[in-house]
Each structure stands twice: as structure tokens, then as C-alpha cells.
Amino acid sequence: MSELKEELGVTATNITSLVDSLEEDGLIVRQAHPSDRRATVIELSGKANSEMALGCTEYKERVATLFAELSETECKEFSKTLEKLWSRLQN
């Protein structure tokens, strides 16, 4: 959970609340860390994996429809712009 806290840039209270909610919804499973009694391992549940697979398929279809209207040149320019923005966000 501390890795999630650091990655998301939130407080321990925020991550605990988020994990509690996801667990209540059946989307994650908490397990004891195999070698560190103080740590908890968070894993996606089967329900979460199923919902993500379905959501990803729908998302990919929507994106494909959206980009079908763009020419190859427009797609390349858009990709360059996104790469530039992503690079700036990383700094």
C-alpha cells in the first residue's frame, strides 16, 4: 500500500480509504505480505480483471472509431504532440 501511496502522490489515509472502497466493491483482495508482517499486498480480483477487459475492449473500439476519421499524417502529428506533452509532464 505504501507503494500505491507514493505512486499516486496521496496520503496514507487517502490510500486506505481508496483500498477499503475497492475491497468493498470486490475489485481488490488484500493479502499479508509473504515476508514482511507489516506490509499488505493488494491484488486485483477476478471481478476487476473481467471488468477491465470489457472496458478496454469498449475503449479500444471507441478510439478506433475516433481515429478512423483522421488521415495517416494527422495521426502522426497527433502522436508527436502527445509525446511532446508527455515529455513535458515527466519533468
Query: Which pLDDT tens digit goes with each residue over 27-84?
Result: 999 998 899 988 888 999 999 988 888 778 888 888 889 889 899 999 899 999 999 9
> Which secondary-structure segment (H or E) carries 45?
none
pLDDT of 21 reads: 94
Domain hosting residue 88, numbered range: 46-91
Cell (9 digits) for 55? 472496458
Assign 23 a pLDDT band (cuts: 50, 70, 90). very high
pLDDT of 1 reads: 76
Query: Do 91 and 59 share a structural domain?
Result: yes
Query: Do 91 and 50 share a structural domain?
Result: yes
C-alpha angle 60/70/84, rounded to 5°?
80
pLDDT of 90 reads: 86
Query: Do 28 and 2 share a structural domain?
Result: yes
